[in-house]
A and B are shown apart, each in its own frame.
Chain A
Amino acid sequence: MKVLASYSIKGGVGKTTAAANLARLAAGEGRRVLLWDLDPQGGATYLFRVRPKVKGGGEALVRRRRELVDVVKASDFDNLDLLPSDFSYRHLDLVFDGQNKPTRRLGRLLKDLSEEYDVVVLDCAPSVSLVSENIVRAADLLLVPLLPSPLSVRTLNQLEGFIANVKGKSPGVLAFLSMVDRRRKLHRDLVEELPRRHPGLARSVIPVASAVEQMGVRRAPLVEWAPGSDAARAFGELWQEAVNRW
């Protein structure tokens, strides 16, 4: 079982969009996939039309009063299940903090699923916190969307610094440019320049596209209903890079 986390310190950068589409692509290849919406805002849960509710909240899961598989919901797509968001996830930091080995709780929980799933995709809330440390320790690969801005290099460096400080084996990092508008010179320049300054950067670039925004209206991953679109193809390439990277 591989754990892939869509992660960033920032919000609104394309984490949920990437998580939903990559999860759907993985499932389409016949992998058994679980997408866990860890964000109390429940963006991914909404996209899959599932009720954002976990009985007993995050605490019941972390304290193992309830098994993860018992709160899983099948999505409308083959091989793809969802572990829904719950508003209580906003206190997940506190719940983890009350446990021993608090930075390893998430990894331990995910171990229970290793027979059931081939891939777990974590859709994370934007933050640097105990939850983030858990995610870093549990993940095999962090998928990091970067907005095309001169600041994004610094964001990435900060993130790598954070990962290096977390104990245990570090996950791989696959950062990619998100919402790139090729009509803008700045974006074009950054697409040229950033890979040189950051050789580990994904070669796939996700274009800004109104189709992606439509996902919120259609409430289904883009790769499902517009598989031929530029953005869907870009997600396909990104998924291939992710597979090659772990």
Chain B
Amino acid sequence: MTRDLTVDDHDVDVPLDAIVTTLSARAEPRQRTQRTWYDTFDWRLHRAGLLLEHQVRADHGWLALSELSGRRIVRVPTGETGETGETGTISVETLPEGAIRERVTALTGIRALLPRTSVEGPVTMLAALDREEKTVARVAVEGPLVVDGGGPLPVRLRVEALRGYDKEARRVVRKLAAVPGLRSAEEPLFGAACHARGLRPGEYRSKPEARFEPATSAGDALAVLLGELLEIMRENVDGTLRQLDTEFLHDLRVAVRRSRSAMKAAKGVFDEEERTAYAAELKWMGDVTTPGRDLDVYLLGFDQMVARATDPEALEPFRKLLTRNCRKAHTALNRALRSKRFARLADGWSSELARQDLPGPEAGTPIARFADARLSNSWRRVRKRGTAITETSPAEALHDLRKRCKDLRYLLEFFGSLYDETAHREVVRELKRLQDNLGAFQDAESQRYMVLQYAEELAATSAPARTLLAMGRLEAHLERRQEAARAEFADRWSRFDRGRNRRLFNSMVAAR
């Protein structure tokens, strides 16, 4: 249990001496403290009920892991500066071994730990003692604190309970609450520090969350949807530019893809000239983000792939080349993200696209009817493409089906709130099964293409034969994977296209 008390007024002085006496506490000298909380961009620690904090007090530093309730799990001494790299993030490698690393990395996966908020100011540590002079509770008298990028926080007293001494901690809280001018704080320091800079812990989305009323006009609904997608794009730009982790670019790209699907579906809703202009800009965004993402994916999976290779070392020149090209691709991407063209795309959106004076003929259609029609249309297209595929169809046919499936999937996501939840979930699940197969096929295809391309490039720089041979084996392995996916397609398709699923889809649309 941790309880925070705070003063009402920024100017109020805390009667420290009186507090020390009532608590029969021992006070340490006043020191300066800096506390920085780390979490991933999508708040993985917070969502798991954990806080990771780097504390510096005078010339000591610690990394502390605690529960949201304030109960500390472990605290490890670190350097004064913390173990952060040049981007200010904490990576798995720099986390001290032990309980923190185990707990944290199991949650963070490939996401980087970013400094989310930090405070600085004076602190006096008090230890409430019992008759044996054993510490039974600690009180940190902290502040006034300056929040990095936010307003100041008044002095607060944080009561830290120690395991097995809850009763004593409650007594301390009671005594402090009786001190004139002190009152219970609305939230713990971490929450207050987040709010002071307009940050809401736990708040993260990678996909639009808007829910629609059936009668809303298609024009309004799509403007909201596209606006939300644009915000997601924007939220991920900074992390992409700084390459904090690879998920920023991933989320950015998916938001672009979703926007393209939405824009395609929006035909007839907006002014057609504006719509096609934005669709073209979004395609451009898709194109400029492709090389960086492809190389990110390749490098992320490289170790795993190489682990299966017979001569892993031979593939090192390949990795070096990939790494170099990845760097180049990100430089080019960053240039695009900093360009006027991108700024225009990001800014012009709401003011131009959703202009009320230039609406399309379908702008006033209720979104429910609009969604029914678009979904049915998309469903028909998927069926038409899928049914046409035979054993001799070229890879492009599957590729094409994959894109149609994506469109359908995004439409299902956008308009999910308009349909029966169970039927909707079931349709998505069935579609996902098909998409997984098409994805496996396509991934192997594009990776094979990349191996071939790079082999040529390496051959031109007279790379050792060993490397080229190893890449040849890699290509063969990818080919087998692709063939396996291809062989499975017919089954997956006939499962997806069975009568039950067709009825499921029709009843989902009809039942609304």
> Which residues of A are at the interface with B, using a C-beta cutoff of 8 A?
28-32, 48-51, 71-74, 76, 78-79, 81, 118, 219
In the complex, whether B46 has a CB less than 8 A from a CB of chain A is no
Instruction: Provide the bound-state CA to CA distance between A30 and B99, in Å.
Output: 8
Instruction: Provide the bound-state CA to CA distance between A227 and B99, in Å.
Output: 25
Task: Say yes or no: A49-B164 contact (C-beta < 8 A), given A29-B98, A30-B76, A30-B77.
Answer: no
In the complex, whether B285 has a CB less than 8 A from a CB of chain A is no
Instruction: Provide the bound-state CA to CA distance between A32 and B73, in Å.
Output: 8
In the complex, whether B323 has a CB less than 8 A from a CB of chain A is no
Structural contact, B74 and A30, CB atoms closer than 8 A: yes
**Interface members, chain B 266-318 (any A CB < 8 Å):** none
Task: Say yes or no: A74-B75 contact (C-beta < 8 A), given A29-B98, A30-B96, A32-B99.
Answer: no
How many residues on the B side are at the interface (Cβ–Cβ under 8 A)? 21
List residues of chain B with CB within 8 A of the CB of A72: 163-164
Query: CB within 8 A of A79: which of B75, B130, B162, B164?
Result: B75
B130 vs chain A, min Cβ distance (A): 8
Instruction: Provide the bound-state CA to CA distance between A32 and B72, in Å.
Output: 11
Instruction: Provide the bound-state CA to CA distance between A81 and B127, in Å.
Output: 17
B123 vs chain A, min Cβ distance (A): 16
A201 vs chain B, min Cβ distance (A): 28
Q: Which of B132-140, B226-234, B366-374 contacts its partner?
A: B132-140
A interface majority secondary structure: loop
Query: CB within 8 A of B100: which of A30, A71, A81?
Result: A30
In the complex, whether B165 has a CB less than 8 A from a CB of chain A is yes
**Interface members, chain B 444-478 (any A CB < 8 Å):** none
List residues of chain B with CB within 8 A of the CB of A29: 76, 98
Instruction: Provide the bound-state CA to CA distance between A71 and B96, in Å.
Output: 29
Structural contact, A73 and B99, CB atoms closer than 8 A: no
Structural contact, B74 and A49, CB atoms closer than 8 A: no
Instruction: Provide the bound-state CA to CA distance between A76 and B97, in Å.
Output: 23
> Which residues of B are at the interface with A, using a C-beta cutoff of 8 A?
62, 73-77, 96-100, 127, 130, 132-135, 162-165
Query: CB within 8 A of A32: which of B74, B97, B165?
Result: B74
Structural contact, A78 and B165, CB atoms closer than 8 A: no
Task: Give 13 A-B contacts (CB < 8 Å), ordered by A residue.
Answer: A31-B98, A32-B73, A32-B99, A48-B134, A49-B130, A51-B132, A71-B164, A72-B163, A78-B62, A78-B75, A79-B74, A81-B164, A118-B99
A188 vs chain B, min Cβ distance (A): 37
3 closest A-B pairs (Cβ-Cβ)? A30-B76, A74-B162, A49-B134
A-B contact sample (17 more), CB < 8 A, given A49-B132, A78-B62, A79-B76: A28-B77, A29-B76, A29-B98, A30-B74, A30-B76, A30-B96, A31-B74, A31-B98, A32-B99, A48-B134, A49-B133, A49-B134, A51-B132, A71-B164, A74-B162, A74-B163, A219-B133
Structural contact, A31 and B163, CB atoms closer than 8 A: no
Structural contact, B163 and A30, CB atoms closer than 8 A: no
Structural contact, A31 and B133, CB atoms closer than 8 A: no
Structural contact, A74 and B165, CB atoms closer than 8 A: yes
Closest-by-CB residue of B relative to A46 is B132
Instruction: Provide the bound-state CA to CA distance between A72 and B162, in Å.
Output: 10
Instruction: Provide the bound-state CA to CA distance between A81 and B165, in Å.
Output: 12
Task: Say yes or no: A73-B165 contact (C-beta < 8 A), given A48-B134, A49-B134.
Answer: yes
B20 vs chain A, min Cβ distance (A): 18
Q: Number of contacts between A and B (CB, 8 Å)?
A: 52
Instruction: Provide the bound-state CA to CA distance between A32 and B64, in Å.
Output: 12
List residues of chain A with CB within 8 A of the CB of B127: 76
Query: CB within 8 A of A31: which of B62, B99, B135, B164?
Result: B99
Closest-by-CB residue of A relative to B76 is A30
B469 vs chain A, min Cβ distance (A): 43
List residues of chain A with CB within 8 A of the CB of B96: 30
List residues of chain B with CB within 8 A of the CB of A31: 74, 98-99
Instruction: Provide the bound-state CA to CA distance between A28 and B78, in Å.
Output: 11
Closest-by-CB residue of A relative to B73 is A32
A53 vs chain B, min Cβ distance (A): 11
B65 vs chain A, min Cβ distance (A): 10
Instruction: Provide the bound-state CA to CA distance between A48 and B165, in Å.
Output: 14
Structural contact, B100 and A73, CB atoms closer than 8 A: no
A155 vs chain B, min Cβ distance (A): 35
Instruction: Provide the bound-state CA to CA distance between A5 and B56, in Å.
Output: 35
List residues of chain B with CB within 8 A of the CB of A73: 162-165
Instruction: Provide the bound-state CA to CA distance between A79 and B163, in Å.
Output: 11
Instruction: Provide the bound-state CA to CA distance between A73 and B76, in Å.
Output: 20
Structural contact, A76 and B135, CB atoms closer than 8 A: yes
Instruction: Provide the bound-state CA to CA distance between A162 and B164, in Å.
Output: 36
Instruction: Provide the bound-state CA to CA distance between A50 and B340, in Å.
Output: 67
Structural contact, B134 and A50, CB atoms closer than 8 A: yes
Instruction: Provide the bound-state CA to CA distance between A74 and B76, in Å.
Output: 16
Instruction: Provide the bound-state CA to CA distance between A38 and B75, in Å.
Output: 26
Instruction: Provide the bound-state CA to CA distance between A111 and B163, in Å.
Output: 20
List residues of chain A with CB within 8 A of the CB of B164: 71-74, 81
List residues of chain B with CB within 8 A of the CB of A76: 127, 134-135
List residues of chain B with CB within 8 A of the CB of A118: 98-99
List residues of chain A with CB within 8 A of the CB of B163: 72-74, 81
B59 vs chain A, min Cβ distance (A): 16
Instruction: Provide the bound-state CA to CA distance between A74 and B97, in Å.
Output: 23
List residues of chain A with CB within 8 A of the CB of B62: 78
A44 vs chain B, min Cβ distance (A): 14
Instruction: Provide the bound-state CA to CA distance between A41 and B269, in Å.
Output: 84
List residues of chain A with CB within 8 A of the CB of B162: 73-74
List residues of chain B with CB within 8 A of the CB of A74: 162-165
Instruction: Provide the bound-state CA to CA distance between A71 and B165, in Å.
Output: 10
Task: Say yes or no: A30-B165 contact (C-beta < 8 A), given A48-B134, A49-B132, A76-B135.
Answer: no
B256 vs chain A, min Cβ distance (A): 43
Instruction: Provide the bound-state CA to CA distance between A78 and B132, in Å.
Output: 19
Instruction: Provide the bound-state CA to CA distance between A79 and B75, in Å.
Output: 7
Instruction: Provide the bound-state CA to CA distance between A48 and B97, in Å.
Output: 27
B64 vs chain A, min Cβ distance (A): 9
A145 vs chain B, min Cβ distance (A): 26
Closest-by-CB residue of B relative to A117 is B99
List residues of chain A with CB within 8 A of the CB of B130: 49
Instruction: Provide the bound-state CA to CA distance between A50 and B133, in Å.
Output: 10
Instruction: Provide the bound-state CA to CA distance between A81 and B74, in Å.
Output: 11
B61 vs chain A, min Cβ distance (A): 12
Instruction: Provide the bound-state CA to CA distance between A219 and B130, in Å.
Output: 14
List residues of chain B with CB within 8 A of the CB of A79: 74-76
B445 vs chain A, min Cβ distance (A): 45
List residues of chain A with CB within 8 A of the CB of B134: 48-50, 76
Instruction: Count chain B CB atoms within 10 A of each CB in A51, A76, A81, A118 and give the residue with the most.
Output: A76
